[in-house]
Amino acid sequence: MSAIRNQVQLIGNLGQKPEIKTFGEEKKFARFSIATSDYYYDNKGEKKEQTQWHNVVVWGKQADVVEKYLDKGMQVAVSGKITYRNYDDKDGNKKYITEIIASDFLMLDKKN
């Protein structure tokens, strides 16, 4: 059971082209956001859509795959763990970030 303590799996669409960063010659990561949508009916019986955005980070060789194959609008499945971090911005305000550190992902669309 310890393997599922911090596990998340999502299927969503990329909101933009992934951002790629390289540190030295060996360290690379890709950052992108995916949207997931849920549907419900309000009190009047009208169908409503609720969209959530999720920040995803991919490291190493998987970042190379993200850079080469993923693009805005594509549907992907992501598996990983949720992490939380914070920092102080230039004005001294504390900012909080929630990210999914992906251990695996699957492209569900082909790049155009």
What digits encode the pLDDT tens for the residues 42-59?
999 999 999 999 999 999
| Mean pLDDT taken over the chain | 92
**pLDDT confidence tier of residue 111, bands split at 50, 70 and 90:** low
Give the bridge partners for 30, in sequence order.
20, 58
Of the pLDDT bands very low, low, confident and very high (cuts 50, 70, 90), residue 1 is low
Mean pLDDT of 14-41: 93
Kindly report the CATH number assigned to the domain that includes residue 12. 2.40.50.140
> What is the Cβ-side half-sphere exposure of residue 22, based on CA atoms within 13 angstroms?
6
The answer to whether the Cα torsion of 61, 67, 72, 74 is positive or negative is negative
Q: Which two tokens stand for residue 63?
A: 């970042």
* Residue 112 domain flag: no
The whole-angstrom separation of Cα 12 and Cα 34 is 5
Q: Could you give phi then psi for residue 16, rounded to 5 degrees?
A: -160, 170
Does 14 map to a domain?
yes
Q: Is the pLDDT of residue 110 over 80?
A: no
What percent of the chain has a predicted confidence (pLDDT) above 90? 88
Confidence band, pLDDT 50/70/90 cuts, at residue 24:
confident
In this structure, is residue 62 part of a structural domain? yes
Query: With 0-12 CB in 10 A as exposed, 13-18 as middle and 19+ as buried, what is 92?
Result: exposed
Q: Where does the pLDDT of residue 5 fall: very low under 50, low under 70, confident under 90, or very high at 90 and above?
A: confident
Strands 19-23 and 8-14: unpaired
**What's the number of domains the chain is made of?**
1
Domain assignment of residue 64, yes or no: yes
> Residue 12 belongs to what domain range?
2-107
Query: CA-CA distance, 84 to 102, in Å (whole number)?
Result: 14
